[in-house]
Amino acid sequence: MTPFLKARLSSILAIGVLVLAGASVVRAATPLPDPAKAGFADRLYRLDCGDSLANDESVWTPGKNIGKRVRFSSTCWLIRHGGEWLLWDTGVPESALNDPRGWSTLPKLIVYHLDKSITAQLAAIGLTTGDVAYVAVSHTHGDHIGNVALFPDATVLIQRAEYEWIRSPDGANANVNQLKALARQLMGSPKRLRLLDGDTDVFGDGSVMLVSTPGHTPGSQSLLVHLRKTGFVILSGDVAHSADNLEHDIVPSLNTDKAASVASMDHVKAMIETYRARIFINHDKAQEDALKLLPAFYD
Interface with Zn ion (CB under 5 A)? 141, 238
Q: Nearest distance from residue 6's CB to Zn ion, in Å? A: 41
Question: Which helix (H) or strand (E) covers residue 113, if one does?
Answer: strand 110-113
Q: Nearest distance from residue 175's CB to Zn ion, in Å? A: 11
Q: Nearest distance from residue 139's CB to Zn ion, in Å? A: 6
For Zn ion, the closer of residues 28 and 243 by Cβ is 243
* Cα torsion angle, 5, 6, 11, 15, sign: positive
The answer to whether residues 75 and 90 touch, using CB atoms and an 8 Å cutoff, is: no
Q: Nearest distance from residue 112's CB to Zn ion, in Å? A: 12
Beta strands 155-159 and 192-196, pairing class:
parallel
Query: In sequence order, what are the beta bridge partners of 193?
Result: 156
Q: Which amino acid appears at position 256 of this protein?
A: T
The answer to whether residues 77 and 89 touch, using CB atoms and an 8 Å cutoff, is: yes
Q: Nearest distance from residue 230's CB to Zn ion, in Å? A: 25
R_g (Cα) of the chain, nearest Å: 19
For Zn ion, the closer of residues 94 and 238 by Cβ is 238
Residues 6+ apart with CB under 8 A from 122: 78, 128, 129, 131, 132
Q: Which amino acid appears at position 162 of this protein?
A: E
For Zn ion, the closer of residues 76 and 122 by Cβ is 76
Decide: helix, strand or coil at residue 139: coil
For Zn ion, the closer of residues 59 and 208 by Cβ is 59
For Zn ion, the closer of residues 45 and 60 by Cβ is 60
For Zn ion, the closer of residues 94 and 162 by Cβ is 162
Distance of CA 17 to CAs 3, 160, 175, Å? 21, 20, 37
* Cα torsion angle, 224, 228, 229, 231, sign: positive
Q: Nearest distance from residue 238's CB to Zn ion, in Å? A: 4
For Zn ion, the closer of residues 117 and 140 by Cβ is 140
Taking the C-alpha atoms of residue 195 and residue 231, their distance in angstroms, rounded to an integer, is 28
Q: Nearest distance from residue 155's CB to Zn ion, in Å? A: 22
Torsion of CA 128, 129, 134, 135, to 10 degrees: 140
Q: What share of residues in the chain are helix, strand, coil (percent, to 5)?
A: 30, 25, 45
Residue nearest to Zn ion (CB): 141
For Zn ion, the closer of residues 196 and 254 by Cβ is 254
Q: Nearest distance from residue 271's CB to Zn ion, in Å? A: 20
